[in-house]
Copies of this chain bind each other. A is one copy, B any other.
Amino acid sequence: MELKPVAERFVLHWGEMGSTWGVNRTVAQVHALLFIAGRPLHAEEIAETLGVARSNVSMSLRELQNWNLIRVVHLLGDRRDHFDVTSDVWNLFRTVVRERKSREFNPTVNVLRECTQSPDFSREDAGAQARIKETLALMEVLSTWADEMLALKPETLMKILKLGARIQNLVAKAKRTPKADGAS
């Protein structure tokens, strides 16, 4: 497949960002290619288009599957696996956030919990104890909040995002008239 100029730019940029996003260049490029192609591609076609080894594509596809970003599909009369990525950016966004949370956030919450529950915890300096507790408390609030936001319908979430900082007015109002927050 020949990429048109903007598609090529997109794929190359996605690849460059990969390292800051925690995946390698090829993985990010494969993802970008599938996203821009808008139809399922087979490994051979991906390898040719990106100019990387077939085996490298195989590994990258597996990695993308671990991220829940792609799925295998089959076309009638074609034995080859084809790979499809969601073209819904909301879905993409939510999957990435969910995965990164579980890789970059949850492990630390767990360790901090273990730290505070350890019999050795009381032997630490008072200040250190306090900072660990505060860190854990903030992370737990953020974790719960993120899970709840991820569970909302995209339209609802979008409304909240677009409201932006004006949200504070609603929160302030809710405080004055507690009934306003309803029950969940």
Chain A residues proximal to chain B, CB less than 8 Å: 4-7, 9-10, 13-14, 17, 20-22, 35-38, 87, 89-90, 93, 103-104, 107-108, 111-112, 114-115, 118, 120-121, 123-125, 127-128, 131-132, 134-135, 138, 141-142, 144-145, 148-149, 151-152, 156, 158-171, 173-175, 180-184
Hey, which chain B residues are within 8 Å of A35, CB to CB? 131
Question: Which B-chain residue is minimally distant from A133 (CB atoms)?
Answer: B89
A65–B148 alpha-carbon span in the complex (Å): 34
Hey, which chain B residues are within 8 Å of A125, CB to CB? 38
**Contact between B165 and A124, CB atoms less than 8 A apart:** no
Partner of A123, one of B4, B108, B111, B134: B4
Known contacts A107-B17, A171-B156; A132 and B6 CB within 8 A of each other: yes
**Contact between B90 and A9, CB atoms less than 8 A apart:** no
**Contact between A181 and B166, CB atoms less than 8 A apart:** yes
**Contact between A6 and B169, CB atoms less than 8 A apart:** no
Nearest Cβ distance between residue A17 and chain B, in whole angstroms?
A: 6
A145–B87 alpha-carbon span in the complex (Å): 23
**Contact between B145 and A161, CB atoms less than 8 A apart:** yes
Partner of A89, one of B6, B87, B135, B171: B135
A164–B145 alpha-carbon span in the complex (Å): 5
Hey, which chain B residues are within 8 Å of A10, CB to CB? 111-112, 115, 132
Nearest Cβ distance between residue A146 and chain B, in whole angstroms?
A: 9
A149–B145 alpha-carbon span in the complex (Å): 14
